[in-house]
Amino acid sequence: QVQLVESGGGLVQAGGSLRLSCAASGSAFSINSMGWYRQAPGKQRELVAASTSGGTTSYTDSVKGRFTISRDIAKNTVYLQMNSLKPEDTAIYYCNANITTTWPRRKYDYWGQGTQVTVSS
């Protein structure tokens, strides 16, 4: 019913920047919140940043001051601007959306396909 398509990953040197995009497509749904998770080799998946329908944003401590999450409501798209990247930011980044279908009224979590971010020292 809903598909999330990610883009924007790549290879960048330490101190550089990347901007990730995630667009949700489908019908008969509304988005409650969108966020970005990441998973590095040997580590658990962690929530990086989230944005609720009310406009509240949150970040994990390790990216505060460097990453910014934003949403384009009209385009059903969420972005993650990543500045001052560090090698420890290297991971696969996954977009997540919590949505509510119109009928029946149910909540679901959807995931993007993942995009690789590699930061070289």
pLDDT tens across 32-91, in order? Answer: 999 999 999 999 999 999 998 788 999 999 999 999 999 998 899 999 999 999 999 999
In the chain, pLDDT over 90 holds for what percent of residues?
Answer: 92
Q: Nearest-CA neighbor of 114 among 3, 2, 1, 9?
A: 9
Give yes or no for a contact between 19 and 8, defined as CB atoms under 8 angstroms apart. yes
* pLDDT on residue 101: 92
Averaged pLDDT of the chain: 95
